[in-house]
Amino acid sequence: MNFDFDLFVIGGGSGGVRAARLASGEAGAKVALAEEDRMGGTCVIRGCVPKKLMVFASGYPGQIEDARAFGWRQARAGRFDWDHFHERLVAELDRLEGLYRQTLKKAGVTVFDQRARLADPHTVELADGRRFTARHILIATGGRPFKPAMPGAEHALTSNDVFHLERLPETMLIVGGGYIACEFACIMNGLGVKVTQIYRGAQILRGFDGEARGHVAELIRTRGVDLHVGTDILEIHENGGNFRVKTTGAGSGEYDQVLFATGRLPNSDDLGLENVGIETGRRGEIPVDEYGQTAVPSIFAVGDVTDRINLTPVAIREAAAFVETVFHGRPTKADHEMVASAVFTQPELGTVGMGEEEARERGAIEVYSNSFRAMHTGFAGREERALMKLIVCAESRRVLGCHIVCDQAGEMIQLAAVALKMGATKEDFDRTMAVHPTMAEELVTMKTPVRTA
C-alpha cells in the first residue's frame, strides 16, 4: 500500500517535534505534523520556559535584600513592572516558537496548523476534512490542567492562564500541593502578591522524599506564603470583580484571583481513539509498551499523553527511542530509571532516585542527611537552612537516592544524577574530594548515617 506519509505526528510539543525532526531530517522519512495550538507545546509556550523566566524574575527581591547585607546599602527592588516583563516574555516565546517551526521546515516536515484525529489505523483526518494516510502514526498531544468539579470553578485560573494575566493581582489563592502549585506560590509571592496556598493532603509535594517535602514546606512559609495543608476548597463566588472562596478550614476569604494547580490529565479526548480500538486508562492515558507502541501496531504514543513520567526530557528521549526503533530498525527503550527532576520553588528541590520511604520498603538502608545554614544566607542574616540527603542501600552500598533543598538545587541534582545513574556507592562519594566552600560539598562529607531502617 502506498501511503501519503511514512509518519504522521499528532502534536507539536517537545516529543512530537523531536520525533518528526529525527524521522525526517536524519532517517529520511516523509513526515507530517499537525498542531492545533502553538508549536512548542506545554513546555515552551505554557510551562517550563515561561515558568522558569518567572522564577528568575521573582527571585530578585530576595537577592537585592541580601545585597544590602553584603554592603550594597542603596540597593532597592522597587515595584515589579508586570507589563514590561510580560512584553518581553511574549517576545521570547514567539522567538522560541519560530525556532521550532524553522527546525521542522529545515528537516523537511510538512506542518498542518490544525487539529488532527484518527480515522483508522493508517489514516488521519484534519479539522478541515482532509485525510492523509501514514505508515506510522505518533500521538504526542501532551497533557492539560485539571479543574475539580465544584461551584464556581469556572472563575479560577489554571497554569495555562497565569502567563496571560493583564495585571498582577494583589492577592491570590492557589489550590493544590504539587510542584506546579508550589512553584507558582513562590513565584507570585516573590513578585509581591500576597499568596495563600491550600492543599487537602497532609503535606505538599506528595511522591517526593518526606523529609525534603517537609523542609520545602517550612521554607515556603518562612518566605511569606500562607500555606495551609489539610484544607480543601468548597466553592467560589464572584464578588464585585474579586472572588469569595469557601474552604474546609483556614484559607476562606476574598481574593483577586484563584489558581487551580490540582494536577494534569493526558490530552487524549476527541482524538478518534475509539475509531481504531484503543482504550485509554483511568486518567485518560494511552497505554503503550516499552517501545511506545499502542495496542494498534501502526500507532505509537510518547510523552505526557501516556502518563508515565511527565517531564519534557523524558518525552524527548521517548521520541528519539521511537525513531530508533521504527525508522532505523534498532529496537530502543527509553530508560525511565533514575530520572532526575527539580521543583523550582524558592529555594529549589532537586531529587533523583528513591525517597527514604520508598527505599525503606525495598530493603535495609542507611540515611545520610544534614541541614545547615549556607555561607551566603548566614552572612545575609537569614535563618534559612539547606538540606542535603543521601539514601544508601545497606547491602550493596549503592546510593539509591539524592535529595537537595537549597538555591540552585536543580543545577546540582543534574550532576548528582550522573553518579547515581552510573551506580555510584557511598564510598565513591566519600572518595570524592570536596569543592570548598560550596553547599554541594556536603554530599561528599557526610560520614555517619543519621538513621538506619
The average confidence (pLDDT) of the chain is 97
9-26 burial, b at 16+ Cβ within 10 Å, e below that, comes to bbbbbbbbbbbbbbbbbe
- pLDDT per position as a tens digit, 65-90: 999 999 999 999 999 999 999 999 99
Percent of the chain topping pLDDT 70: 100
- pLDDT per position as a tens digit, 315-364: 999 999 999 999 999 999 999 999 999 999 999 999 999 999 999 999 99
The Cα-based distances of 119 to 13, 21, 126, 292, 300 in angstroms read 22, 24, 10, 20, 15
Q: C-alpha cell of 386?
A: 539547606
Count of H-run helices and E-run strands, the chain: 13, 22
- pLDDT per position as a tens digit, 280-319: 999 999 999 999 999 999 999 999 999 999 999 999 999 9
Q: What is the model's pLDDT at position 1?
A: 82
Lowest mean pLDDT among 12-26, 111-125, 237-251, 359-373: 237-251
pLDDT band at residue 251 under the 50/70/90 scheme: confident
Q: What is the model's pLDDT at position 442?
A: 98
Q: What is the model's pLDDT at position 76?
A: 94
Q: What is the model's pLDDT at position 142?
A: 98
Q: What is the model's pLDDT at position 286?
A: 98
**Does pLDDT of 193 surpass 90?**
yes
Q: C-alpha cell of 451?
A: 538513621
Which residues belong to the active site?
436
Q: What is the mean predicted confidence (pLDDT) over 19-31?
A: 98
| One CATH from 3.40.720.10, 2.60.40.10, 3.40.50.300, 3.50.50.60 for 153-262 | 3.50.50.60
Q: Which of 393, 395, 400 is nearest to 416 (CA)?
A: 400
Asked if the domains 5-144+265-327 and 341-448 are classified in one and the same CATH topology, the answer is no
pLDDT band at residue 241 under the 50/70/90 scheme: confident
Q: What are phi and psi of 185, to 5 degrees?
A: -60, -45
Write down the pTM of the prediction. 0.96
Q: Is 393 helix (H, G, I), strand (E, B) or coil?
A: strand
DSSP string covering 217-249: HHHHHHTT-EEEES--EEEEEEETTEEEEEESS
**Does pLDDT of 46 surpass 90?**
yes
Dist CA 53 CA 282 (whole Å): 34
What kind of architecture, by CATH, is found in domain 341-448?
2-Layer Sandwich (3.30)
What kind of architecture, by CATH, is found in domain 5-144+265-327?
3-Layer(bba) Sandwich (3.50)
Dist CA 346 CA 354 (whole Å): 22
Q: Which of 22, 46, 148 is nearest to 97 (CA)?
A: 46
Q: List the domain boundaries for the chain.
A: 5-144+265-327, 153-262, 341-448
For 124, how many CA atoms within 13 A lie in the half-sphere containing its CB?
A: 32
